[in-house]
Amino acid sequence: MPCIAAKELTFKVKGKVIVKDLSAELCGGLNVVLGPNGAGKTTLLRLFAGVLRPTQGSVLIDGAPPDKVRARISYVPAQLSLDPMTRVVDLAEAINYGKDGSWRKRLREYLSTLGIEWAAERRFSTLSSGEQRLATIAAALSRGGDVIIADEPTEFLDVSNRAKVFALFRGLVNKGALVIIATHDVRRAGQADRVLVLSRGVVTFAGQPGEGLVEALSKAYGVDAKTLLEA
Amino acid sequence: MRAERLTLTLIAISLPLSVLLSLSIGPYRSVDFPVVVAALVGLPVSRLSLDVLTYRAVRTLAAGVLGAGLAVSGSTLQFTLRNPLADPYLAGVASGSLLGVTLALLWGRASFWDLYAAAIAGGLLTLSAVITISGLAGGGAVTLLVVGVAFSYVLSGLTMFFMIMLGPRLPGALYWMFGSVAFMTLPLVERTLVILVPAAAALAALSRPLNSLLLGDEVARAIGVRVRLVRLSSFALASLITAALVSMAGPVGFIGLVAPWLAKRSFGVRFSTVLWASAAMGAEIAVLSDVIARLVLFPSEAPLTAVTSVFGAPLLVYILIKSRGE
């Protein structure tokens, strides 16, 4: 089971601290990172995926830094600004840099699981926001890594597609993958094996969803979290 | 897939037709299509016809090389800068090369290699300046375009000053400055090919990392692309190609913008495919534009740039609107 270990992780940009002295260990399972805008969720995920380098501290995936195990990482970015002419298959090919051609088969499988098997040769500009999101997830997963890091994977998705995406991630977890998702979809926390709540770059809750989570969320978002979870 | 095959078929049919057309048209009206066919199938033709045909063949070849090279250079800039509006002409590379060549002429240098070195220096310096300044101005596709066009104006202005200082050598330089393939010789085209072919092959070898730049620098780096190295080498190669083409035929605009756009439309954003597809399309556009250049003021002729600009600039606006709308 893959493990990500963050040790005394700090990330600063232009003197501003985004992630502060963060230590956490996530081994396998479906992990959900919650927190208000600007809490540092995206930065933390990018540090995990090796897209950003820590200012201090370290990220280790099964004992190795992310750039030594990049073939194992599938990263779904929150947003991509693409040439409008980019096709889904073009994005997947770009994502699979340094990999053999087996990604094509995986891309078709994931597109089909997400219900958009017709989209492979389509241009992004011809897809709806939700379809673009699903296609980006399928393209990222086609890398075939067992460490899956997804930033806002359910943004723009309707209820049924959100369920599809979570079912897909759950299936990957059952096959032994480590999945880490950042989301604003607080209600999904109940389906996670582990929840991290971030507030101003610091972990204020880490563990299984439960009573402590409600309190941490209430504090982080500054509202009664029960209403968020039930809404 | 069907659209791709259709496009391939269209190119395969229309490119040879454009070449035939280019061979058949010119002020020597007696050398027309039947004569071209006769010469091609080996029937005897007059000495004059053969000379005229040779001239037109070199000119057609030069136009094809020019168009293909501009397309390759434009595709490269569009992928490395992640900008569908990038073009060697609009990004200022061609204007920089033009100023370089003019300064070299003023210096009394006129060999191809001297002019070529001056063109590379001018082109590379300008491209670096445009990229740096548009980065400082906040980046983005349109910023680069605006900075590039501003630079082009400044450099063209300077070029005009220095041109006047050329004195009696002005008329020859002026026609070249218009951008044209009217005065091509085979050695000139060959020397351009010596640079173009290896540079394009090197770019083809960089296809996969170049492709992955579409993910953005940070993600591309995370999956193992050596972003800086790939970008620097592809800039250098694109500038090298542009410089060779400017030394050969002067600045010719918009082919480097339009051909990659058409190629991406048909084949998606995949560098290895766009590279050769845009080269074929660029060659065809240039050959056809040169035919039009010979026809509009018949029996006199217009500069090639005049034709590509009249058709290309409206398309730039169209691409801008499309890329923003989407």
Sign of the C-alpha dihedral, residues B239, B245, B248, B252?
negative
Please state the pTM of the whole predicted model: 0.91
> Whole domain around residue B87: which residue ranges?
1-324
Residues from chain A that touch B216, judged by Cβ atoms under 8 A, are 77, 80-81
Compute the distance between CA of residue B158 and CA of residue A196 in angstroms, rounded to an integer.
Answer: 61
Residue A2 has pLDDT above 80, yes or no: yes
How far separated are the first and last CA of chain B, in Å rounded?
Answer: 22
For strand A178-182 and strand A56-61, is the pairing parallel, antiparallel, or unpaired?
unpaired
Q: 3-class DSSP state for residue A221?
A: helix
Four-CA torsion A119, A120, A122, A123, nearest 10 degrees? 120
Nearest to B269 among A52, A81, A83 (CB): A83
Residues from chain A that touch B213, judged by Cβ atoms under 8 A, are 94
pLDDT given at position B14: 94
Residues from chain A that touch B224, judged by Cβ atoms under 8 A, are 67, 70, 97-98
Nearest to B218 among A52, A85, A87 (CB): A52
Residue B141 has pLDDT above 90, yes or no: no
Q: 3-class DSSP state for residue B85?
A: coil
Compute the distance between CA of residue B53 and CA of residue B57 in angstroms, rounded to an integer.
Answer: 6
* B231-270 confidence digits (pLDDT tens): 889 988 998 999 899 888 988 989 999 999 999 988 999 9
What is the residue type of A151? D
Q: How confident is the model at residue A231 (pLDDT cuts 50, 70, 90)?
A: low
Q: 3-class DSSP state for residue B82?
A: coil
Phi, psi of A52 (to 5 degrees): -115, 150
Phi, psi of B303 (to 5 degrees): -65, 150
Min distance A156 CA to chain B CA atoms (Å): 17
Asked if B219 lies within 8 A of A67 by C-beta distance, the reply is no
Q: How confident is the model at residue B74 (pLDDT cuts 50, 70, 90)?
A: very high
* A119-157 confidence digits (pLDDT tens): 999 999 899 999 999 999 999 999 999 999 999 999 999
Whole-number mean pLDDT of chain A? 93
Q: In terms of DSSP H, where are the helices of B83-206?
A: 93-106, 112-136, 141-164, 170-178, 186-205
Residues from chain A that touch B223, judged by Cβ atoms under 8 A, are 70, 95, 97-98
Question: CA angle, corner A92, sides to A45 and B271, nearest 5?
Answer: 120
Compute the distance between CA of residue A32 and CA of residue A25 in angstroms, rounded to an integer.
Answer: 13
Residue in the block written with tokens 């209820």: A159
Could you say which DSSP state residue A2 is in?
A: -
Query: Residue B110 is part of a domain; what is its CATH number?
Result: 1.10.3470.10
pLDDT given at position B326: 47
pLDDT given at position B83: 84
Range B278-298 average pLDDT: 94
Distances (CA, A) of B50 to B20, B295, B301: 15, 21, 21
Any residues with CB less than 8 A from the CB of B285 and at least 6 apart, and which?
Answer: B67, B255, B258, B259, B308
Please state the domain count of chain B. Answer: 1
Q: How many CB atoms lie within 10 A of CB A108?
A: 16
pLDDT given at position B122: 93
Our measurement of the distance from residue A154's CA atom to the centroid of its chain's CA atoms, rounded to an integer in Å, reads 10
Distances (CA, A) of B165 to A181, B103, B155: 66, 10, 15
Residue B146 has pLDDT above 60, yes or no: yes
Percent of chain B with pLDDT over 70: 98
User: Angle formed by the axes of helices B271-296 and B47-80, to 10°?
Assistant: 140
Range A197-217 average pLDDT: 89
Q: Is residue B155 within 8 Å of B95, Cβ to Cβ?
A: yes
Could you say which DSSP state residue B86 is in?
A: -
